[in-house]
Every structure is written in structure tokens, then in C-alpha cells.
Amino acid sequence: MNNDGAVTTYKILLVEDEPSIQMLFSFNLKKSGYKVEVAVNGEEGYAKAASSKPDLILSDIMMPVCDGLAFRKKLLENQELRKIPFIFLTARGEEDDILQAYELEIADYIIKTASPKIISAKIAATFKALEKERTKVVTEVQQAADSMGAKVVPEEFPSFAGFAIAHWHVPFKNVPGGDFIDYYPLGEDKIAIILGDVMGKRWNAWYFAVAYAGYVRSAIRFAMESASDIQPGDIIAKVNESVYKDERISEVFITLSIVILDRKNKTLRYSGAGDLPIVHKSGDLKTHHTSGILLGFASGSVYENVEVPLLPGDEIYMFTDGITEARNKDGKMLEEDGIFEIIKTIKPQDNQLEVIQNAFREFTSNEFDDDISLIAIRMN
């Protein structure tokens, strides 16, 4: 199932150099309901796997340029691509060949003389096992979330007079993920808006995101107690020290954006750590970005602050890389320019999130490869 409850159409990368065999298996796989992309050798297969992130790779062994064994070894060297289930489909049926292949952490080994029905059944069984494991992980993470009463994304939008603030969040495959959104009132006239991304731990990122949320809240409380004029860069610096000292997340990459809205002075202050730029729409489109490094890399890191004056009707957008790295059916990424173009089409009377959601779902065919998080702000 996808995020909207529709039946998932799995995407298979078929790597086979013989045109007639490629055509035969591609036809049968499509007939079984799969999307199929083809490559003629391991080198081309690796490039296509990196760009399109298939749900399963089906590969021959004997191929020119880069054979199946070398192809598989190269995939295993990539921390992201090694997770893609891999099946050898080959004419080599000797025991030594099969044992050598299974040493490369493959899901199955299929001899080409097997009937199309047998091959389809083995592929379906692989997907069924993966789905069962995913369901188990989802259940465990959601049970943990419920038992802790912890949330990394608020269910409701904040109320802050003079501004409309809303967010859009879709966790990857419905698993509570590593993206983090929070809103924190700072007295009567200010609010902190926080967006973060815990990367590289897709299934268990939620656990780190909960800890990360705690760091940010603690840092904000500390900043409120120690300074009358709170700066987002000071908050990030405090979070950085906490992350740097925590051995549990020493190998986790964390980005963070903090915007503080000040309705009395009609300004926003922004600072970021390894994040994407925030977008300011005021007639034309401007971006603001600081040079702060990813959290936890070094103690004593300094995070600069940017102050932006605001006018009625101005819009601010914050987003994680699940937006910019989303791909269409041809494997093309949306990138920053793509989301900028969508934002440019938004009119003052439009619902910002609705316009972005519709355009984004159309671009991606409603299939997402990562957590999707975006915050939209409009000054009334």
C-alpha cells in the first residue's frame, strides 16, 4: 500500500544483456503487474539503480563490461543500494556458482530454465517477505511512539496572530520517520518554527528524532532563561553541543532549520545547520542560507543568524530533502529549482499547501522515496 492506501506497484530493475531474454522476462514481469526498467550490464545497472531506486534488482551473471557478480559487489559497497533486494537470474546452475552468489547477500538465485510462473512466484514471495518485515517494523515503531506519548510532528498547526502557519508531512511508507517539526512560543510576540531531518537511518530514525526533539526543546528553554533576545543560532549551537556529546547518535547526520517570527517588529530571524535554504516570497523569490555545518560534527561550532524584514502578504517556505530529491517516473529529481517554480505559481488567495501538494503529487505520480516535510508561512 502507498501513502494514500492504493496498491503498491513494485519497480524491478532487470539487468540482462541478451535482447531476446530481456524482452521475454520484461514482458512476463509487466504482465505480472510490475514496473520494469532494463539495463544491459552491471555498469549500466548500477547507474540506473542509483537514479531510480528500484524495489528489487533481477540480474544475469554472465554479461560484458561488468558481470553480475561484480555488479552485486559494487552495490554492496553503497550503504543505500545494498538494501535493495537482489536476485540472480542466470543459466549457471553449478553448486559452486550458487554458493558463491549467496555469499553476496542475495535474496534468491533462479535458474533461467524455470518457467515464468515459477519466476513470478519467487519474486512475489520476496516482496511478501519484505512487506511482512516492514509491517513488523512499522508496528514496533508505532507501538513505541504510543507508549512514549512522543510525536515528532504536531497534529495541529500553531495559532499565531498575524501569521498563517501550516505544514505538510508524509512519513516514508507510513513509518514514523526522521523528519522533525515543532513550534515553540517565545513569549507573546515571538514563535520558534523548527524543521529538522535525521538522515541515514530510515527504519529507526524515529528513535533518534525523538531524542533530537528533546535536545531542541531543552536548548530553547535554556536560551529563554539565559537571554532576553533569543537568537536561532544560539539555540542550534546548544543543540550541537548536546548532539556532539551523545555517543548514541555520533554517526547520525542531522540537519536543522530554525526560524523565529517576531510579529511586533515584523521580522524573522533564521539560522541553519547543514540544511536547505529557506525561501522568502515577497513579490519576487529570494533564498536565505547560512553556512552552519551538520549537527554533531564539531564542538564549539558557530551558527550565524540572518534577519529578514517582512511585509503583509510575504510567504516563507522551509523543507527537507525529501522534497528536492523526489523523482518523477523518468528518474528526474525535482531539485530546488523545481520547488521554486511551484512556489512562484502560488497566488495570494491560494491555499499554499494545496498548490504545492497537487503539483508535487503530479510530478512524483504520488510515489515518494523519503519523508516529505514542508512548512508554509504567510504574513497576514
Nearest to 34 by CA among 90, 73, 93, 87: 87
Mean pLDDT across 157-180: 85
DSSP three-state, residue 379? strand
Question: Assign residue 65 a region: left if phi > 0, alpha if psi is -120 to 50, beta otherwise?
Answer: left
The confidence score (pLDDT) of residue 74 equals 93
Name every residue whose Cβ is closer than 8 Å to that of residue 288 and which is 6 or more positions away in sequence: 270, 277, 278, 280, 306, 308
Q: Within its chain, how far is the Cα of 63 from the centroid?
A: 33
pLDDT in tens, 309-348: 999 999 999 999 999 999 888 888 999 999 999 999 999 9
Q: Is the model more confident about 106 or about 140? A: 106
Domain segments of the chain: what residues?
11-143, 150-379
Name every residue whose Cβ is closer than 8 Å to that of residue 72 and which is 6 or more positions away in sequence: 42, 59, 86, 88, 101, 104, 106
Q: Is the model more confident about 286 or about 251? A: 286
Nearest to 141 by CA among 194, 216, 83, 201: 201
Pairwise CA distance, residues 289 & 274, whole Å: 10
Label residue 249 by pLDDT band (50, 70, 90): low
Nearest to 276 by CA among 331, 337, 203: 337
Asked whether the predicted pLDDT for residue 107 surpasses 90, the reply is no
pLDDT in tens, 261-312: 999 999 999 999 999 999 999 989 999 999 899 888 888 899 999 999 999 9
The confidence score (pLDDT) of residue 203 equals 47
Pairwise CA distance, residues 199 & 177, whole Å: 9
Which string of b and e fits 306-327 if b means at least 16 CB within 10 Å? bebebeeebbbbbbbbbbbebb
Percent of the chain with pLDDT strictly greater than 70: 85
Nearest to 50 by CA among 72, 21, 26, 80: 80
Nearest to 164 by CA among 144, 188, 139, 191: 191
Which of the following CATH numbers is that of domain 150-379: 3.60.40.10, 1.10.645.10, 3.90.550.10, 3.40.630.30?
Answer: 3.60.40.10
Label residue 118 by pLDDT band (50, 70, 90): confident
Pairwise CA distance, residues 72 & 46, whole Å: 9
Asked whether the predicted pLDDT for residue 5 surpasses 70, the reply is no
The confidence score (pLDDT) of residue 198 equals 79
Pairwise CA distance, residues 139 & 136, whole Å: 5
Asked whether the predicted pLDDT for residue 165 surpasses 90, the reply is yes
Asked whether the predicted pLDDT for residue 149 surpasses 60, the reply is no
Nearest to 181 by CA among 244, 255, 243: 255
Pairwise CA distance, residues 225 & 234, whole Å: 12
Label residue 145 by pLDDT band (50, 70, 90): low
Name every residue whose Cβ is closer than 8 Å to that of residue 11 and which is 6 or more positions away in sequence: 34, 35, 36, 37, 52, 54, 55, 56
Pairwise CA distance, residues 121 & 113, whole Å: 14
The confidence score (pLDDT) of residue 148 equals 47
The confidence score (pLDDT) of residue 317 equals 98
Find where cell 542531522 sits.
254
Mean pLDDT across 192-203: 74
Fold match between domain 11-143 and domain 150-379? no
pLDDT in tens, 352-368: 999 999 999 999 998 88
The confidence score (pLDDT) of residue 3 equals 40
Strands (DSSP E) found in 236-379: 253-262, 267-273, 278-282, 284-288, 306-309, 315-319, 372-379
Asked whether the predicted pLDDT for residue 121 surpasses 70, the reply is yes
Q: Is the model more confident about 63 or about 214? A: 63
Mean pLDDT across 145-170: 83
pLDDT in tens, 61-88: 999 999 999 999 999 998 888 889 999 9
CA angle 366, 371, 372 (to 5 degrees): 60
Asked whether the predicted pLDDT for residue 6 surpasses 70, the reply is no
**Protein fold of 11-143:** Rossmann fold (3.40.50)
Average pLDDT score over the chain: 85
Asked whether the predicted pLDDT for residue 52 surpasses 90, the reply is no
Label residue 201 by pLDDT band (50, 70, 90): very low
Q: Which three cell numbers, joined as nine digits, stand for 304?
A: 550565524
The confidence score (pLDDT) of residue 160 equals 97
The confidence score (pLDDT) of residue 1 equals 40
Strand 86-90 versus strand 108-111 pairing type: parallel
Mean pLDDT across 140-144: 59
Which of 36-45, 175-184, 361-370 shows the lowest per-residue confidence on average (mean pLDDT)? 175-184
The confidence score (pLDDT) of residue 9 equals 79
